[in-house]
Amino acid sequence: MRVGDYIDAYCSRCKRVMDHTVVSMEGSEVSRVRCRTCDYEHTYRPGQTGKKKELTKEEAFNQVLASVMGTIPGATEEKPKKKKK
Ligand SMILES: [Zn+2]
C-alpha cells in the first residue's frame, strides 16, 4: 500500500464503504484517505471496512475451482439423453 493507491474505507459523508485514495502514510500504515466519490479527506481507521465479508484463501480457491469446473469444455456440450424409438 502506498500513497495514491485505492483502498476501501468507510466514508462518513457517503455513510458507506467507498473507494478511497491514499493521501498519506505512517510507516506501512495508511494514515489519511480521500473519498473518490465526494472528495472528503479524512483519517483512515483500520477495521472500518469490517462490514465487508472477506473470503479466506480456501474459500477463494474453491470459488475459482467451481468457476473453472463449470467451464470445462464438454461439460456444457453434454448432449441430453433422449431415447427416440
Ligand atoms: Zn464520500
CATH code assigned at 48: 2.30.30
Read off the pTM: 0.54
| 68 CB burial (10 A radius; 0-12, 13-18, 19+) | exposed
pLDDT in tens, 36-85: 999 999 999 876 554 555 667 787 888 888 888 776 555 555 666 777 76
Ligand 1 centroid–CA 19 distance in Å is 8
Domain that holds residue 47: 6-70
Ligand 1 centroid–CA 13 distance in Å is 5
- Residue 56: the pLDDT is 75
Please state the rounded mean pLDDT for residues 2-20.
93
- Residue 84: the pLDDT is 72
Q: Give the chain as a 3 state SS string.
A: CCCCCEEEEEECCCCEEEEEEEEEEECCEEEEEEECCCCCEEECCCCCCCCCCCCCHHHHHHHHHHHHHHCCCCCCCCCCCCCCC
Residue 81 within a domain: no
- Residue 40: the pLDDT is 96
Number of folded domains in the chain? 1
